[in-house]
């Protein structure tokens, strides 16, 4: 499991008041108890934690912790690339 995914599981556990979610990384957010408002709040928390901007539509293309971790890793990698002048 990636470091990003581990961090997302920890954040989700805290936000949802849930038990360990490491075995539910491919479970859709709605099945984890996140309704649309809860998902927006969760995304804001994730954005603040990782210092990235997540497009809601992209996050919903694979609405799982594993899918979100892949997206966050992609955003972090793009952020780390040096700007081409």
Q: Please state the pTM of the whole predicted model.
A: 0.88
Evaluate if residue 59 carries a pLDDT over 60: yes
Which one is predicted more confidently, 22 or 30? 30
What do you get for the CA distance between the two ends of the chain, in Å?
A: 36
As separate numbers, helices (DSSP H) first and strands (DSSP E) second, the chain gives 4, 0
What is the reported pLDDT for 45? 96
What is the reported pLDDT for 83? 61
């Amino acid at each position: 499991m990636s470091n990003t995914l581990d961090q997302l599981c920890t954040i989700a556990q805290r936000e949802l008041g849930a038990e360990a979610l490491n075995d539910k990384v491919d479970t859709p957010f709605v099945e984890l108890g996140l309704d649309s408002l809860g998902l927006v709040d969760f995304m804001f928390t994730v954005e603040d934690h990782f210092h990235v901007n997540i497009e809601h539509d992209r996050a919903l293309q694979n609405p799982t912790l594993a899918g979100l971790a892949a997206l966050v890793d992609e955003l972090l990698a793009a952020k780390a690339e040096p700007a081409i002048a």
